[in-house]
Amino acid sequence: MQTEINQARQPSWLRTIIIGRHPRRTLIRIVVIVVSCLLLRAFVVLPILVSGPSMLPTYSGGLNFVNRLAFLGHGPRRGDVVAIRLAGESIMFMKRVVGLPGETVTFSNGHLLVDGRPLEEPYVKFKCNWDFVPERSTLGDDEYYVVGDNRSMPHLDHTQGAAKRERIVGKILR
């Protein structure tokens, strides 16, 4: 008789697995996790879908995440891969920062020159024959020069150039 009463009080194993032994605590945990995820998504981490060949072979496409808080203490640094907002939150470019504010950027015989000196770029695997001076080669106080890693395409087919700091959303998480 006593064992029948104990069995009647104990929840079923399925209910225990799904809800737990304390449903109120489980509900509070679920609410905290959902709110935390929504806040994280809204203010810290932004998922973006990458398509196109401009960042090959470093990024071949797929889902990546942008850290929106990466540049709170400092601005983007040379070599950072960043997300650049074009229109709204749904259209962005993923590019690498190669020129900093006040610098002059040019391409000569396939090499990137910053202030007349060649920049060492170990991430560029596909060599190019670019030879041009960008439209705005000298960057303003709040501008960064960005370009993709895949330089095998003609420079006219490549989206690149000066990006204002306000358009840089954050740093791509690796």
Which residues are known to be catalytic?
54, 95
CB-based burial label for 33 (10 Å; 0-12, 13-18, 19+): exposed
Query: Which helix (H) or strand (E) element contains residue 169?
Result: strand 168-172
Residue 64, helix vs strand vs coil: strand
CA distance 86 to 88: 7
CA distance 38 to 138: 40
- Residues linked to residue 164 through DSSP beta bridges, in sequence order: 143
Q: Residue 173 corresponds to which tokens in the numbers above?
A: 């998480």
